Amino acid sequence: MSARLRFAVLFPWSWVLLVLAGCSTLPPLPERTSSAAFTDTRATTLGRIAETSLAEAGPGESGFRLLPTGDYALEARLALAARAERSLDVQYYQLQRDSVGLRFLRELGDAARRGVRVRLLVDDLYTSGEDELFRSFAALPNVQVRLFNPLPMRNGSLLTRLFWSLHEFGRVNHRMHNKLFVADNRFAVSGGRNMADEYFMQSASANFIDMDVVAAGPVVREQSAVFDRYWNSEHAWPVESVVPATLAAGEAQRRFDELVRDAAPDLELAPNDPLGEHAVGIELAAGQVSLTFAQVEVFADAPAKVGRADRSDSVATVARSTLEAIGGARQEVLIASPYFIPGPIGMAMMKEARSNGIRIVIMTNGLGATDEPLVHWRYARYRRELLKLGVEIYELSPELAREAGTFGNFRKSFGRLHAKVAVIDRRKLFVGSLNLDQRSAWSNTEAGLLIDSPHLAEGIVALLENDHKESVYQLRLGADGESIEWVVTGADGSKQTLADEPHNDWLLRLRMWLIGPLTSEDLL
């Protein structure tokens, strides 16, 4: 059961459980030392490479490089960490104890032992059973670990921890969904990927199609400032304040080495990614990274969003800023969002856009691809109206994505969409952590970049509209104008029409019939 589903199902019964849950509380927030990103990193190796890579950038421009495949996205992070000399600032919603998570932590640990300051901020929702890992990592010299908005219960599964946190539901329902990796305050990697196997094509069962972006230039300093706001916020708790020490420092360090010893080996990379680029590590070794220069806006929710209940609050949010950017389209909007629930505001925006002749294309997960069936169930309620408006809808097929192989080698696993991308008039490109649903709008903190680059925008369009056509079902209205059909396009251009929704079996329909009435769209 996903975290969204747990929140949605447990919430209606929280009043019954308040007494049971009342004994679990957090200790008082201890005094913490504030810190900030280093700014004197121009003379570092990464600083020199960044300057060389940005030599032809215009005034105020930053440099960008898309990372559409998991292997290249992981390699970029590892290569940057291996060359860092001053600092690594790392912020993730999820960092799993699997081959990717352990490999990543091992690289961070190696950097810390070289004298690099490592600040790791992880949302506490998915840390069940990982106290030993994060506590032992924090025992390394030069390493600090903080947990964002910790749950009052440390032990047990995620469901158990949520159960015993229901008396603080209003707080723990709000999570830090941001993803950011900054090396020496000179290069940054941000986007949609968490640190876990399935985001980097390393899972044996299912892998996500996602999008990250490497950045250099002034934008990195802005992203570092965002990280500092989160790191120093009252919602970021030092791991040692919520996880008691069970080992002396030396023993904890040795335990960390034991935990990461069997991490994944070095990656086997394809010669080029789908956009024709070489691996970032190869370019770093050559002393210059291939970048596209552009102006950019940094969107980032304030950490205090987790404590804000009033939706009339005028504080800017990533959701609001992104919708305003999309609302400025004059010709076309292409959106990829794994969890898509437009709600009344989104529907009103699309209705107005369509009345002005603006093309709207939505790509999201099909029922068989989603890891959040309850979200899909809610989204499905909008499909007919969207199609009647003339919105183009594409749903990812898990089997077709695997066969197409555009975004990597899925092997025997199947594909799921996780990228959060919007292309506006084939000029502006949003890449970030924001899903177009109510949870991202109101319950999670989010971050993203709005890049003004026709070149990068066309790269995304090529991936979504051209290379990806064989991976999706195109939805259309049936002859009666009410039913929905799913159209599959083959490699040879042939089309097959399905009248029944793929993967919609009776057991899933029964689950949604039972659970659906208990949920609120605001929690999804």
The alpha helices in 195-342, defined as continuous H runs, are: 218-231, 239-242, 249-260, 280-286, 318-327
- Six-digit token pair at 121? 């901020």
Cα 21 to Cα 16, 143, 170, 242: the distances in Å are 10, 34, 14, 18
How many whole angstroms from its chain centre is CA 215? 16
Contacts of 183 (CB under 8 A, 6+ apart): 46, 80, 81, 83, 84, 87, 88
Cα 299 to Cα 147, 317, 324, 431: the distances in Å are 22, 8, 12, 10
How many residues in total does the chain contain?
524
Residues 67 and 5: their CA atoms lie apart, in Å, by 30
- Six-digit token pair at 331? 């010709």
Q: Is 284 exposed, middle or buried (0-12, 13-18, 19+ CB in 10 A)?
A: buried
Neighbours of 298 (CB within 10 A): 22
- Residues annotated as part of the active site: 177, 179, 184, 418, 420, 425
Residues 38 and 35: their CA atoms lie apart, in Å, by 9
Closest to 164 in 3D by CA, of 307, 27, 10: 10
Residues 221 and 234: their CA atoms lie apart, in Å, by 22
Q: What is the DSSP string of 427-449?
A: TEEEEES--SSHIIIIIEE-EEE
Residues 28 and 314: their CA atoms lie apart, in Å, by 30
Largest Cα–Cα distance of the chain, in whole Å? 72
Q: Are strands 392-396 and 359-365 parallel, antiparallel or unpaired?
A: parallel
